């Protein structure tokens, strides 16, 4: 049975297809009922890559990696059916919508909601990293939002696990991640580590607060070039409601050099939890120290000119008085 034949009501072993709920570069995802009436998610590879040995490796690998993770913020896999004519993965069903769908509807989120979502993502990834797993493809399409506001991370298909061999892919962008959320080291072909996921969370935080990703372009190469070469557009210019410490946290997560980012998701989560108590000085990094600049640069210039003029006038008066006193003293 092909994915095009998996229409509502179709049977796949003990599962009955309810509806399609999403698709990616490699697979389609369906909501299904199992024979007991419980709802699950079936993840099936596209017909175009059926029979590809790498596809089987990818599916097995995703199940192996995700099966090590037991966290409320990570979607739980149930089983993998190793059938070359119709392989599929069975996963728990999480009621809700993707973060992409939410952002498409709301554009910008409130600071409180964005910070809460950032904390949840950092918490889930801190757990994954503690198990030796790096996601490498965090993006709004791979994050589910439940009706009560809980986030659940999905799709560990290109994740890395400590000690696992590296798979190669014919699809360059999918192998490394999604251009809008790729870290500079991924773009440079490096494996990445926990700080790679920190960077992706930083991009999503920026997007939740600004209503757009930090860098936009006409094509993937343009976007990837900006990740490596361009400075982060000041967040406060796109959303004046963002407090300076929050902007500082986002900028720190988006540092080009992994060594200058948060060392792990635990540190990022901690700063998001305690942002009101953070000194701005900890976010200053050379020429990229743009924290809470005044919204009106013209006013700042006027005040600077006024201060210089006042100092000059004061000095002039002092010299005149001093000359008068010296003159009369003689």
Domain count, the chain: 3
Q: pTM (2 decimals)?
A: 0.79
Are 84 and 113 in a shared domain?
no
Domain end position, chosen among 35, 57, 92? 92
Does 183 share its domain with 258? yes
- Amino acid 12: pLDDT: 87
Do 303 and 280 fall into the same domain? Answer: no
Per-residue confidence (pLDDT) for residue 134, from 0 to 100: 93
Q: Which residues are catalytic?
A: 137
**Are residues 181 and 174 in contact, defined by beta-carbon separation less than 8 angstroms?**
no
- CATH number for the domain that contains residue 64: 3.30.200.20
* Series of mean pLDDT values for 10-residue runs along the chain (330 residues): 72 91 81 90 79 70 82 90 76 94 95 98 96 93 96 86 50 57 91 93 98 92 92 95 95 96 96 88 53 39 40 53 56
What's residue 301's pLDDT?
Answer: 36
Q: What pLDDT does residue 297 have?
A: 37
Tell me if residue 238 falls in helix, strand or coil.
coil
* 192-246 pLDDT, tens digit each: 899 999 999 999 999 999 999 999 988 989 999 999 999 999 999 999 999 999 9
Check whether residue 120 and residue 183 sit in a common domain: yes
Residue 237 corresponds to which tokens in the numbers above?
Answer: 């210019």
**Domain final position from 92, 122, 137:** 92
Domain shared by 13 and 159, yes or no:
no
Whether residue 277 sits in one domain with residue 157: yes
What pLDDT, on a 0 to 100 scale, did the predictor assign at position 323? 57
Residues 167 and 29 in one domain: no
CA dihedral 27, 94, 69, 175 (to 10 degrees): 30
Q: Are residues 134 and 197 in the same domain?
A: yes
Q: Give the residue numbers spanning the domain of 19.
A: 3-92
Would you give the DSSP letter of residue 167? P
Structure tokens at 11: 């049977």
User: What is the DSSP track for 50-108?
Assistant: TT-HHHHHHHHHHHHHHTT---TTBPPEEEEE--TTS-EEEEE---SEEHHHHHHHHSS
H helix or E strand, kind and range, residue 254: none
Residues 26 and 173 grouped into a single domain: no
**Does one domain contain both 142 and 61?**
no
Please tell me whether residues 185 and 328 are part of one structural domain.
no
CATH number, domain with residue 267 = 1.10.510.10
Burial 107-129 (b: 16+ CB within 10 A, else e): ebbebeebbbbbbbbbbbbbbbb
Task: Answer yes or no: do 225 and 106 share one domain.
Answer: yes
């Amino acid at each position: 049975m092909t994915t095009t034949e998996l229409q509502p009501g179709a049977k796949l072993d003990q599962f009955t297809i309810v509806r399609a709920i999403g698709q990616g570069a490699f697979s389609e995802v369906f909501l299904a009922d199992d024979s007991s009436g419980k709802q699950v998610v079936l993840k099936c590879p596209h017909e175009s890559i059926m029979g590809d040995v790498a596809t089987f490796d990818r599916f097995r690998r995703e199940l192996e990696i995700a099966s090590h993770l037991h966290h409320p913020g990570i979607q739980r896999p149930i089983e993998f059916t190793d059938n070359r004519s119709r392989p599929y993965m069975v996963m728990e069903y999480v009621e809700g919508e993707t973060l992409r769908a939410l952002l498409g509807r709301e554009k910008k989120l409130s600071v409180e909601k964005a910070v809460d979502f950032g904390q949840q993502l950092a918490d889930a990834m801190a757990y994954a990293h503690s198990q030796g797993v790096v996601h490498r493809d965090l993006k709004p399409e791979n994050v589910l939002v439940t009706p009560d506001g809980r986030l659940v991370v999905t799709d560990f298909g290109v994740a890395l696990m400590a000690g696992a061999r590296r798979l190669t892919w014919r699809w360059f962008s999918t192998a490394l991640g999604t251009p809008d959320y790729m870290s500079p080291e991924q773009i440079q072909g490096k494996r990445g580590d926990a700080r790679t996921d920190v960077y992706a969370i930083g991009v999503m935080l920026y997007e939740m607060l600004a209503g757009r990703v930090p860098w936009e372009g006409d094509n993937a190469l343009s976007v990837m070039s900006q990740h490596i070469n361009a400075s982060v557009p000041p967040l406060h210019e796109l959303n004046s409601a963002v407090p300076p410490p929050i902007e500082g946290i986002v900028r720190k997560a988006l540092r080009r050099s992994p060594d200058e980012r948060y060392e792990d998701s635990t540190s990022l989560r901690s700063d998001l939890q305690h942002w009101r108590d953070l000194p701005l000085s900890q976010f200053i990094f050379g020429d990229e120290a743009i924290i809470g600049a005044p919204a009106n640069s013209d006013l700042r210039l006027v005040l600077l000119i006024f201060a210089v003029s006042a100092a000059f006038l004061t000095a002039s008066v002092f010299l005149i008085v001093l000359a008068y006193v010296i003159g009369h003293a003689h």
